[in-house]
A and B are shown apart, each in its own frame.
Chain A
Amino acid sequence: DSGVTQTPKHLITATGQRVTLRCSPRSGDLSVYWYQQSLDQGLQFLIQYYNGEERAKGNILERFSAQQFPDLHSELNLSSLELGDSALYFCASSSSSGSYNEQFFGPGTRLTVL
């Protein structure tokens, strides 16, 4: 158990819909990262927040947005869903924002768009 929690575990929805994925980082970790992993693919970095502020942005679509709240939990919002958005979404946390920090991954949310 990494100490990072993600809800829900599974999500099935239809094209055009909007969903929210939630992540609680390890106790004391200020950085939260979101990744997308499509079937048999690597981990695509989406976005990083540090202590409530956006720190780095990867290949995140405009239909996707995220935020980190004062209690440090984070939410990833996916809207106007398409079939290709079906994937495993991982949240990870680390103690700080810069280099040299190992990331602790949550169990992931499996999103299926029908």
Chain B
Amino acid sequence: GQQVMQIPQYQHVQEGEDFTTYCNSSTTLSNIQWYKQRPGGHPVFLIQLVKSGEVKKQKRLTFQFGEAKKNSSLHITATQTTDVGTYFCAGQESRRALTFGSGTRLQVQP
């Protein structure tokens, strides 16, 4: 079945440093979604990427979808303490359920 791998599992950065998490699927995806889960909270939808090579930005967050639609990345510029949490990618093959990656836990040192 479809597998979605996410790396790194954990990253600790100093406030102001950049952060990137990578997501790789074993199969070609129709779309990929990103979610953020704050400590003690529930996952919250961030964005969805659909097109091959797509790049979307949300303030300091940049999301990319690979040309082959099998990988994606989330880059945060100049991290802030409010960025703390676990970031999940979730890949979807056409008409199938989302498969979540294992998540990257981000810790930001003030």
Binding site for B on A (CB under 8 A): 2, 33, 35, 40-45, 48, 56, 58, 90, 92, 98-100, 102-108
Contacts and interface: CB of A to CB of B under 8 A. Distances in A.
A42 B103 contact: yes
B88 to A, nearest CB: 7
A43 B43 contact: yes
Interface in B58-110: 88, 90, 92, 94-103, 105
13 contacts: A2-B42, A33-B98, A40-B105, A42-B88, A42-B103, A44-B100, A56-B97, A90-B42, A98-B95, A99-B31, A99-B95, A107-B41, A108-B42
Contacts of A58: 97
A contact face: mostly helix, strand, loop, or mixed: loop
Contacts, number: 57
B48 interface: yes
A112 B26 CA distance: 33
A27 B26 CA distance: 35
